[in-house]
Amino acid sequence: MLMQKKIVEMFDSIAPKYDIANRILSLGIDIKWRKEAIEETVKDIDKNNIRILDVACGTGDMIGIWQKTIKNKTLKICGLDPSKGMLEVAKKRFPQITFYNAYATEIPCEDSSFDVISISFGIRNVLEIEKALNEFNRILDKNGRLLILEFVRDNKNKKLRKCIDFYTNKFLPKIGGIITKNKEAYEYLPKSIENFYTVEELSNLLKKAGFEIKKVKLFNFSQVAMIIAQKI
């Protein structure tokens, strides 16, 4: 658990500058993926009052996109993150929302209490991933959906990704380090992608945890995966 604690401390330390660094470094291209992923996740959910938990919510980027994207259905959205620093920013942005200061592996919510769980650019930071997926399955209601957006390892498109990898490995730590004064945190990103799963491996873990894969789509030269899974 020590390593996990260190990861969260790193997010605590960059929290005040996280939003500005993210805006500059992503150039906003993630917004399109997030919207598409949300629309795809809820498109055939035939119910109003969808209960959503955004896990690893950070400063609340995904919560903002949920609110803007879903207009014809009522949403009850909550956020969860173990980093107090990230949550402090999120609470200022969304004072009306309930936030849980907790790990994805120990969610303080009842069984079957949500229709959708979203986790964007968060699951890679969860060291006990199988435990977290079981926990997601527990708190999702029957046929509940899990939306994962994440950087994944890719063994196929090596040549195509050279340019993107240059950006992630060299440019991003430099600029991220200057903005947040924590270069280490931005060196962690490429390292954590290298040590993470491929989209196939992640899908297999989901199946093992009691999910059926509904849709997979890759963005950004296969660097980012959207996986929508349903609780069986």
Ligand X SMILES: C[S@@+](CC[C@H](N)C(=O)[O-])C[C@H]1O[C@@H](n2cnc3c(N)ncnc32)[C@H](O)[C@@H]1O
Taking the complex as a whole, the smallest distance from the CB of residue 48 to ligand X amounts, in Å, to: 25
Residue 120 is labelled as binding a ligand: yes
Taking the complex as a whole, the smallest distance from the CB of residue 85 to ligand X amounts, in Å, to: 8
33, 94, 100, 103: which one binds ligand X (CB under 6 A): 103
- Token readout for 44 is 């055939």
CB 124 within 8 A of CB 196: yes
**AA identity, residue 218:** L
Taking the complex as a whole, the smallest distance from the CB of residue 47 to ligand X amounts, in Å, to: 24
Taking the complex as a whole, the smallest distance from the CB of residue 92 to ligand X amounts, in Å, to: 15
Residue of 77, 89, 153, 86 whose CA lies nearest to 117? 77
Listed ranges 114-122, 136-144, 156-164, 196-204: which one lies at the site for ligand X (CB under 6 A): 114-122
Task: Name which of residues 53 to 92 contact ligand X (CB under 6 A).
Answer: 55-58, 61-62, 81-83, 86
CB closer to ligand X out of 7 and 228: 7
Instruction: Report d(CA 223, CA 151) in Å as an integer.
Output: 6
Rule CB under 6 A: say whether 182 interacts with ligand X.
no
37, 42, 53, 104: which one binds ligand X (CB under 6 A): 104
Instruction: Report d(CA 217, CA 165) in Å as an integer.
Output: 20
Rule CB under 6 A: say whether 188 interacts with ligand X.
no
Task: Draw the binding track, 1-30, toward ligand X (x: CB under 6 A; -: no contact).
Answer: ---x--xx--x-------------------
Give the start-end residues of each E strand in 28-138: 50-55, 75-80, 98-100, 114-120
Residue 105 is labelled as binding a ligand: no
- Which residue reads 């993150």 in tokens? 81
Helix%, strand%, coil% for the chain, nearest 5: 50, 25, 30
Residue 113 is labelled as binding a ligand: no
CB-nearest residue to ligand X: 58
Alpha-helical segments (H) within the chain: 2-26, 29-42, 61-69, 84-93, 129-139, 162-166, 172-180, 183-194, 199-208
- If phi > 0 it is left, if psi is from -120 to 50 it is alpha, else beta; for residue 194 that is alpha
Residues that bind ligand X (CB under 6 A): 4, 7-8, 11, 55-58, 61-62, 81-83, 86, 103-104, 120-122, 125-126
| Binding residue numbers for S-adenosyl-L-methionine | 59, 81, 120
